[in-house]
Structure 1
Amino acid sequence: MIKLSELKQYAKLHIKSQDFQGLDPQQVLNSIYREPTHDGEDDGAWDLIWIKAAKQSLKNGHVSDAIQCYNFARFPYPETDAQKKASQELVRTFENHYCDENVKKHTIYVQGKSLSFYTANLDQSKPCLLVLGGIVSIKEQWSVFLKAGKTMGFSVVVTEFPGVGENRLTFHESSHQMIGKILDYLSRQADVENTFIVGMSFGGQLAIKQALEDPRIKGITTVGAPINRFYQEYSEATVPLITRRTLSHVCNLRDDELQNHMRSLALSAKQIQKLIIPLTYIFSARDEIIPYSEKQFIKQNVSNLKLIEFDDIHGSPNHLEYIQKMIPLSVLKQSGSKNIKLKIILSALLMIENLKKRVGKK
């Protein structure tokens, strides 16, 4: 089992990306004294303490807090019975409070396994924005995009990586094809011929791989996607335990089977050189998961590249305010959106963020 210290360390990074309204997540973390429990006793157990916080948040009327508490209860993936129940409660709570005439849930089958996703603002005349997380993040975590679709002028799809949440697929060489199946399903409900993808971490790699085969994808924005070097240089000595265990889960493999499997997932230079659509890549210089050599591989082999680098760890959690504005602006620019007003607002906000950083350095 993953050690509590590592669970807390990585949970803190994800907490930074969430906006809690009625509780202090750090206080919840401080009250946890042991790993997720298999015995059902809640004396400081990771999963049960987060579940208790979720139930209290619901009583207090803070639904979004409850969803994120259930999210951390099952973090990084459901292993104990309590974590599995938390994952189910998370989905149930989200559907009960957020699914309506605009936000809908869909389930399709790929290779005989179910895959669920949410959509919003579906319109055949609007381009498609597909959002895909990595090996840890659930689709409900990216619900902000469901709300932003109307403002941005996009039909929005929010889904999950294989092995995460309600995606029953496993991560292998052809996992990227699930993206094509989603677009096929939505072909009469959105303009999928003009699809733009925001792929977080490992989700970005799936987006790139699908784009090499699927002309409907016109642009990709990613944060810390492993493309080649991560897989080629994969080793237990350099990849954090929590990442290795989570990869074992999404690949449905034992830890000792992972290394050879990772090699098979790498995109070669020859493959990625065929990527002609715009790729915005946000790179973290101190990434503890993606090796720094990945940056050089990307620069050497991606022709239509906008590379943004932060002196930060995986996902650049200390630069989230910048990233949260950069991502929609990237999508709007890639799509040639005529929403000039929104582009100006986002550009101005990014300038303010840059000024803040310059002032802070003085």
Structure 2
Amino acid sequence: MTHPHAPRATGDGNDLDELKRFVVAHALSQGLPADHHAPVLDRITTDTGDAPGSWAYEWIRAGDERDAAGATLAASQYYVMGRFPYVDGPGRARALHRAVDAFDRWRTTGPTGIEAETVDIDGVPVRIWTAGLSAQDPRPLLVITGGIVSPKEQWGALLPQITALKLAGVVAELPGVGENPLRYARDSTRLFTALLDALAGRADVTRTYLLALSFSGHLAIRAALTDPRIRGIVGNGPPIHDFFTDTTWQRNVPAVTRNTLAHLVGVPPQDVHAHLHDWALSDDELRALDVPLAAVTALRDEIVPPGDPERLKRHVTDLRLLEHDDVHGAPRHLAETKAWSLLALQRMRPDADPAVTERLVAAVAAARRPGPTP
């Protein structure tokens, strides 16, 4: 894993229409309803800068309004949207700072049990959120990581639910995302190994599970091939092989994805796919995976090609797939995905409480029932 890097400038910025389209899934995943975030998007007329009408300014303004009303966690999520998809200048840097600050204030105002930690990864301090760590009663560990656009504050509020499952929990970021200063690289699997090394003694890291969303799912699989402490993986839309190698598919990958990857790995956008070519997981590696893998996939995924989940079906021995007729991340199926992911995790655990498993089965069934007809 390589050393810290400065943010790369994006020049003319991202395609604004595409940015607005992709951020909606993230807004919904954070519980920001359309009648709240749609007016923010309507006010945005430029991706660049930090003046009224800019991406960062309008999201920050919305976050400030929630913060002033005492809705600190919601404010943090609006700020998170303001730094989407990555920090490329003062405006998004301001949004990230406010997101971290608001989350920090929220987690200390009630009995969340969430603590801030800093771990050393190859000599670099990396900040994470934790809960349920105890030297007296070390629990099995769940490590949660988002994708290439998701800082830890986007998922940190899950930690109290994780400790309720009698797990210790950690929320971390992929290298280059949020406050993680490392460079995203093929060997970034060191992130998981270093976290387990650092938390040994306060969690039973020999029973570690990874809830690894989007691109972090790809790294999680690679990490599990070499670290026997990892006992299971739950993912959502992980790229596997064809994303990295299929040049025809790559021509249609959304610009926001390509630009974000270029920012994280430190190459020009036109070179990003060539740079990532050898990151593909081979069929032999997939066959060698000896822990359970559960993954949510989307039949209309515009980022991960359909050949990738099909490759999992062919080669992974212990596989559970949840397929949605949806786009990347399955934003129209959030309740079912969340319940199913926790149920998949629970079924991987030999120490799982049957009563909790039964409740999660019921939650998945309830999420699948159609709602009332308008």
Q: TM-score, normalised by structure 2?
A: 0.91
Aligned to 2:120: 109
1:327 offset after TM fit, Å? 1.1
Q: Does 1:16 align with 2:28?
A: yes
Q: Which residue of 1 aligns with 2:154?
A: 141
Contact kept, 8 Å, 2:151 with 2:178, in 1: the verdict is yes
In the other structure, the counterpart of 1:54 is: 63
Q: 1:90 to 1:341 in 2, by over 3 A?
A: same
Q: 1-side partners of 2:348 and 2:175: how far apart?
A: 26
Deviation at 1:178, TM superposition (A): 1.2
Asked if 1:30 is matched to 2:42, the reply is yes
- Give the secondary structure class of the aligned counterpart of 1:195: strand
Residue 152 of structure 1, CA deviation: 0.5
2:159 and 2:279 map into 1 onto residues whose CA distance is: 30
Go from structure 1 to structure 2 and tell me whether the alpha carbon gap of 1:351 and 1:303 turns closer, same or farther (over 3 Å shift).
same
1:32–1:45 contact (8 Å) kept in structure 2: yes
Query: Given the alignment, which residue of 194, 218, 227 partners 1:181?
Result: 194
For 2:232 and 2:242, the matched residues in 1 are separated by 22
Number of corresponding residues: 356
Greater Cα shift, 333-342 or 308-317:
333-342
CA distance in 2, matches of 1:331, 1:345: 13
What is the Cα deviation at residue 7 of structure 1? 1.1
Partner of 1:163: 176
Q: Give CA deviations for 1:333-358 in whole Å, capped at 9, x if unaligned.
A: 1012332222111101212233328x
Aligned to 2:246: 233
Aligned AA for 1:321? A
1:286 aligned counterpart, secondary structure: coil
1:94 corresponds to which of 80, 90, 103: 103
Q: Quote the offset at 1:69 in angstroms.
A: 1.2
Alignment-derived partner of residue 51 in structure 2: 41
Amino acid in the other structure paired with 1:13: A
Provide runs of 4+ in structure 1 moved above 6 Å: none
1:304-330 alpha-carbon deviations (Å, 9 max, x no partner): 111111111001111111011011111
What amino acid is aligned across from residue 116 of structure 2 in structure 1?
K
Supply the AA of the counterpart residue of 1:312. D
Check whether the contact 1:21–1:65 (CA below 8 A) recurs between aligned residues: no
SS at match of 1:114: strand
Give deviations 1:152-194, integer Å, cap 9, x for gaps: 1100011011110111111211101111000000001001100
- 3-state secondary structure, aligned to 1:162: coil
For structure 1, list consecutive stretches of 5 or more residues without a partner in the other structure. none
Q: Which amino acid aligns with 1:74?
A: R
Change (3 A) 1:338 1:307: closer
Q: Is the 8 A contact 1:226 1:294 kept in 2?
A: yes
- For each residue in 1:121-157, what CA deviation from the matched residue of structure 2 results, as whole angstroms up to 9, or x when unmatched? 1134311011011100111111232111221110001
Match of 2:293 among 270, 279, 283: 279
Instruction: Note closer, same or farther for the CA distance 1:173–1:158 as it changes in structure 2 (3 Å cut).
Output: same
- Percent of residue pairs identical: 32
Give 1:261's aligned amino acid: H
Q: In structure 2, the residue corresponding to 1:24 is in which secondary structure?
A: helix
Aligned twin of 1:217? 230
- Hey, what's the Cα distance between the residues in 2 that align with 1:114 and 1:5? 36
Partner SS, residue 11 of structure 1? helix
The equivalent of 2:207 in structure 1 is 194
Q: Which moved more, 1:118-127 or 1:281-290?
A: 118-127
Which amino acid in the other structure matches residue 195 of structure 2?
I
Contact 2:299 2:324 in 1 (8 A): yes
CA contact (8 A) 1:36 1:48 kept: no
CA distance in 2, matches of 1:329, 1:33: 42
Query: In the alignment, is the contact (CA less than 8 A) between 2:151 and 2:173 conserved in 1?
Result: yes
Q: CA deviation at 1:82?
A: 1.2
Other structure's SS at 1:320 match: helix
Q: Name the CA shift for 1:315/1:21 in 2 (closer, same or farther; >3 Å).
A: closer
What is the TM-score of this pair, normalised by structure 1? Answer: 0.94
Whether 1:131 and 2:140 are equivalent positions in the alignment is no
Equivalent residues in 2 for 1:283-302 (5 A)? 283-302=297-316
For structure 2, the 5+ residue unaligned runs are 1-12
| CA deviation after TM superposition for structure 1 residue 239, in Å | 0.8
Is residue 310 of structure 1 aligned with residue 324 of structure 2? Answer: yes
* Cα distance per residue 1:269-294 (max 9 Å; x no partner): 11121101100011111100000111
Would you say the 8 A contact 2:210–2:233 is kept in 1?
A: yes
- Secondary structure, in 3 states, of the residue corresponding to 2:288? coil
Q: What is the CA–CA distance in structure 1 between the aligned matches of 2:363 and 2:92, rounded to whole Å? A: 39
Separation (CA, whole Å) in 2 of partners of 1:13 and 1:338: 31
CA distance in 1, matches of 2:166, 2:157: 14
Contact 2:27 2:33 (C-alpha < 8 Å) held by counterparts: no
Q: Which amino acid aligns with 1:134?
A: G
Question: Does the 8 Å contact 2:28/2:34 carry over to 1?
Answer: no
| Alignment pair present for 1:121 and 2:121 | no
The one-letter code of the counterpart of 2:200 is S
What is the CA RMSD across the aligned residues, in angstroms? 1.9
Cα shift at 1:91: 0.9
